[in-house]
Amino acid sequence: MKELTERQKQILDFIRHKQDFDKLTPTLREIASHFRFSSPNAALAHVQALRVKGFLKNSPGRARSLQLVNLRQGGRPLAPQIVSVPIYGAIPAGRPMDAEQEEEGCVLIDVDTLGIKPTTRTFGLKVHGDSMIGKSIIDGDIVIIEHGVQPRSGDVVAALIDGQVTLKTFVLQQGKPYLRAENPRYPKLIPQEELQIQGVMVALVRRRK
């Protein structure tokens, strides 16, 4: 990690302060105005430098999309981090973050328990049926799914089959990926062809009935 110049530190502090205080990432023009630059390009140059040096992230073209990159090495945030995870009863098709007609509420849980990075796309899936009884996952359980993670053999994954999301165990058999239901009443092995894996199970929450 490269060192920052004095000016770049000031810019970074200003962004941090604005995010804490206003809960709103400043625009380049707001940065410029604060530092009495007369051109947004001056702010842009600094932001770009901070990006190159790894202190900032952003989504190109997006308004107010600057994000601080947490560089804490070994250090843990003092306050435990809570994230709200939306729960879906079913995901009809497409990417998991679309088509939220079935949204059923929200679980709030700490990042430590989930064991995920807070930037990850994560959602909860309400389990219907007993196809995963062999993994001790039962009807009504809420399975926390992390999207965009490469599953390892034996992981429980949410997979899209016939426009319906179901839970299956991901297995590698002689290097080939298969999906397995954990119930003798279901087909044992499904070749993972044309099947879209929505995510990997990272946690499970069960409420009393």
Partner DNA sequence: TTCACTACTGGACGTTAGAACAGTACTGGA
Partner DNA sequence: TCCAGTACTGTTCTAACGTCCAGTAGTGAA
Residues in Cβ contact with 35 at an 8 Å cutoff, skipping those fewer than 6 apart: 10, 11, 14, 42, 43
Q: Is 131 a catalytic residue?
A: yes
Kindly name the residue from 18, 168, 188, 209 that is annotated as catalytic: 168
| Nearest CA among 47, 70, 71 for reference residue 59 | 47
Q: Which of DNA, its own copies, none does residue 167 bind (CB under 5 to 8 Å by kind)?
A: none
Helical axes 6-22 vs 40-52, angle rounded to 10°: 100
Q: Does 41 help bind DNA (rule: CB under 7 A)?
A: yes
Select from 1, 38, 162, 209 the one that contacts DNA (CB under 7 A).
38
Select from 28, 50, 157, 201 the one that contacts its own copies (CB under 8 A).
201
Structure tokens at 64: 């107010």
Beta carbon nearer to DNA, 14 or 186: 14
Q: Which of the residues 119 through 148 are near its own copies (CB under 8 A)?
A: 119-122, 133, 136-138
Q: Which of the residues 46 through 85 are near DNA (CB under 7 A)?
A: 46-47, 49, 58, 60-66
Q: Is 57 a catalytic residue?
A: no
Q: How many residues bind its own copies (CB under 8 A)?
A: 64
Sign of CA dihedral 146, 147, 153, 154: positive
**CA dist., res. 165 & res. 143, Å (int):** 12
DSSP assigned state of 69: P
Structure tokens at 145: 């799914």
For DNA, the binding residues (CB under 7 A) are 5-8, 27-30, 32, 35-42, 44-47, 49, 58, 60-66
